[in-house]
Every structure is written in structure tokens, then in C-alpha cells.
Amino acid sequence: MFANQRREKILELIREDGSAKVIKLSKIFKVSEVTIRQDLEKLEHEGFILREHGGAFLKNVEDSVKSITLLNQENLEKKQLIGKKASELIETGDTIILDSGSTTTEIAKNLIGRKGLTVITNALNIALILGAEPGIELIVTGGEFKPPTLSLTGQKAADFFEDIHVDKLFLATAGISLRSGLTYPSLSDIVVKKAMIDAADTTYLVADSTKIDKNAFASLGALSLIDYIITDASIDQTKAEILRDHEIEFIIAD
């Protein structure tokens, strides 16, 4: 991996987890701690992070947590379309899982006023959106708190789903490709995503078109783990046809 590629992955990880330690990054990327410190110095100089003793943390994350605002607001219009389309697939009486993320947050906004639903989530911002809805029974997992995504993660979050059965899962991702499958910036989320998939009858992956043919650091597994991808109409048709040739089913939000 080239230095600029490594720094990009380091930044993705810090944006996901909020912070990272030099010693951990050194093991993940299989380079020396001196190299990692140089990477962090470069990222700080570019204005993305702030270094601290033994590691670094994301700028503005404290303000984001205090305001209960997700840091990742890119491609919001596409995510809003996907959120609306996904909400139309949710029926009265359903028990669903809403994964953490900006696209699943848009699904939650479209459930305001709905009745007869049970929603399980590991996202604290989604819990606040739906927690006061009289027609929705809301259940929140336990786990370790990740500030940038306002989510709960790790083994304790995964263990919550051990004896849970739901009708539908709306799963987020950072990248989708035939080679790497479903990918994420953080290793801590992988065990949670797997547990969610195991608990669901039907899994809908919600991902805007910019995530197609993109790879993040950690792979969850093959695209066969999901039943449908809900994405926007801007998806490159060549990429879509390649995925369809591998029996990946699309739902287009427009």
C-alpha cells in the first residue's frame, strides 16, 4: 500500500471511530510506529485531525456529539431519496433493524408518524428521532460508543442480536465491490453487522451510488449476504449490469 493510500485509510478509520492509537494503527497497517506518526503529522497539517500523545482524534467531533449531528453529510439528497424508498418497504407490524449511518437516519425520518412498528437500532441519533413516536416500539442495543457515527458497536452490541429475530434489516456500508464485498472503515463494526444480518429475514443494503465499486478497510463478506441494494438513479449503468450479472438485485430510488 502506498503512503497516500495508507493515509486515506487511516483518515477513514478515524472518521469512523473518532480517534486512533499509534500502536493500533501500526499493527493494522503493518508499518512502524514512526511511519504512523509521520502519517498523522501529515493529516494534521492538512487540517483533518489533531494529534495527541500516542495517537490522534478527529476535529470537530465534540461539537458533533453535543449537537447530536452526524459528521458525514455528503450526498445528502441521494440519501434522502433512498431513505424515502426504503421506508415504503416497511409495513405495519414489521420488526426492523436500522443500522447506524446517515442513510439509515433518512429512513428513520420517514417513519415519523407511522404506527405498529418495532425498531431496533444501534444509533443514538435514530433513537432520539423515533423515541417519542407513540406508534413505534423502540429498542436500543448496548455497546461501545463511537462519537462520529453516534453509534454503539463492538461485541456487546453484537451479542444483543443473539436471540433476536426481525423481518427486515436496513444495513449501511462504506463500500461495495464484487472483489471485496461489503466493506467498512472500522473493524469494530464487522461483528455487529454480521449479527444484524443473522437476525434478519431480509437484508436491504442502503447505499448511495458513490459507494458502488468502492473499497474501505475491513471486509464484512460477499455481496451474497444481502438480498437487495437500495441506491439512487445516478449509479453507473455498466457497474450496475456487472452486479446484476452476479444476481445482485437493485431497487432504484428516484
Confirm whether 3-59 and 76-253 share one CATH topology.
no
From residue 120, alpha-carbon distances to 26, 101, 199, 203 in Å are: 35, 14, 11, 14
More confident residue, 18 or 45: 45
Position 62 pLDDT exceeds 70 = yes
Position 101 pLDDT exceeds 90 = yes
What is the per-residue pLDDT across 24-36, written as a single tens digit (0 to 9) for each? 889 888 899 999 9
| C-alpha span between 127 and 99 (Å, rounded) | 11
What is the per-residue pLDDT across 113-161, written as a single tens digit (0 to 9) for each? 999 999 999 999 999 999 999 999 999 999 999 988 899 999 999 999 9
* Percent of the residues in the chain that have a pLDDT greater than 90, as a whole number: 63
Position 217 pLDDT exceeds 90 = no
Q: Give the gyration radius of the chain's Cα atoms.
A: 18
Please, which residues bridge with residue 56 across strands?
Answer: 20, 51
Residue type, 76: L
Domain topology for 76-253: Rossmann fold (3.40.50)
Position 71 pLDDT exceeds 70 = no
Q: What is the mean pLDDT of residues 43-66?
A: 84
What is the per-residue pLDDT across 76-86, written as a single tens digit (0 to 9) for each? 999 999 999 99
Predicted pLDDT at 98: 98
Tell me the Ramachandran region of residue 28: left when phi exceeds 0, alpha when psi lies from -120 to 50, beta otherwise: alpha
pTM assigned to the model: 0.85
3-59 carries CATH number 3.40.1180.10: no
| C-alpha span between 254 and 134 (Å, rounded) | 30
Sorted by sequence, the CB contacts under 8 Å of residue 84 that are 6+ apart come out as 106, 110, 253
Please, which residues bridge with residue 200 across strands?
Answer: 166
Position 61 pLDDT exceeds 80 = no
- The mean of the pLDDT values for the chain is 91
* Percent of the residues in the chain that have a pLDDT greater than 70, as a whole number: 99
- Residue-range domain boundaries for the chain: 3-59, 76-253
Helices 76-87 and 102-109 pack at an angle, to 10 degrees, of 50
